[in-house]
């Protein structure tokens, strides 16, 4: 089945640093990739939607200059949290939509747990 690989699975870094998270579709081409954020005991919140080769569309309240998204190919999207601060600590999950429609509307990665000290 379709697999979405997300890396790293966990990262701990100092306040002020930038962190890059990669999301890859391993055996399918993803026309659209989505980034979600999840705080403890809460549901997934959509941050942004990106289509290959074009700028991402951000949800209301999500700062595009803080959360940089690059979707350079049909199999790779990256999320960079710039100048991260403790309030950015969260569980970040990427998701990809297959170019060829199938059963599932979206395939999900296993998430990246980001902790900012």
Residues that bind other proteins (CB under 8 A): 4, 6, 31-32, 34, 36, 43-44, 46, 49, 51, 91, 93, 95, 97, 101, 103-111, 113
Which is nearer to other proteins, 61 or 101 (by Cβ)?
101
CB of 10 to other proteins, least distance (A): 10
Which is nearer to other proteins, 17 or 49 (by Cβ)?
49
The span from the CA of 74 to the CA of 97, in Å, is 10
Q: Which residues are CB-neighbours of 91 under 8 A, at least 6 positions away?
A: 37, 38, 39, 111, 112, 113, 114
**Is residue 8 reached through a cis peptide bond, with omega within 30 degrees of 0 on the bond before it?**
yes
The span from the CA of 46 to the CA of 61, in Å, is 11
Which is nearer to other proteins, 16 or 102 (by Cβ)?
102
CB of 5 to other proteins, least distance (A): 11
Q: Are 56 and 50 in contact (CB under 8 A)?
A: yes
CB of 68 to other proteins, least distance (A): 19
Which is nearer to other proteins, 6 or 25 (by Cβ)?
6
**Cα–Cα–Cα angle for 12, 27, 113, rounded to 5 degrees:** 15
CB of 49 to other proteins, least distance (A): 6
């Amino acid at each position: 089945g379709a697999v979405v690989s997300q890396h790293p699975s966990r990262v701990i870094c100092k306040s002020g640093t930038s962190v890059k998270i990669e999301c890859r579709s391993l055996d399918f081409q993803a026309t659209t990739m989505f980034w979600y954020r999840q705080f403890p005991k809460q549901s997934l919140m959509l941050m942004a939607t990106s289509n290959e080769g074009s700028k991402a569309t951000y949800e209301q309240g999500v700062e595009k200059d803080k959360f940089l998204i690059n979707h350079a190919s049909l199999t790779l999207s990256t999320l960079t949290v710039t100048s991260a601060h403790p309030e950015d600590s969260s569980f970040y999950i990427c998701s990809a939509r297959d170019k060829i429609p199938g059963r599932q509307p979206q395939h999900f990665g296993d998430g990246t747990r980001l902790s900012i000290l």
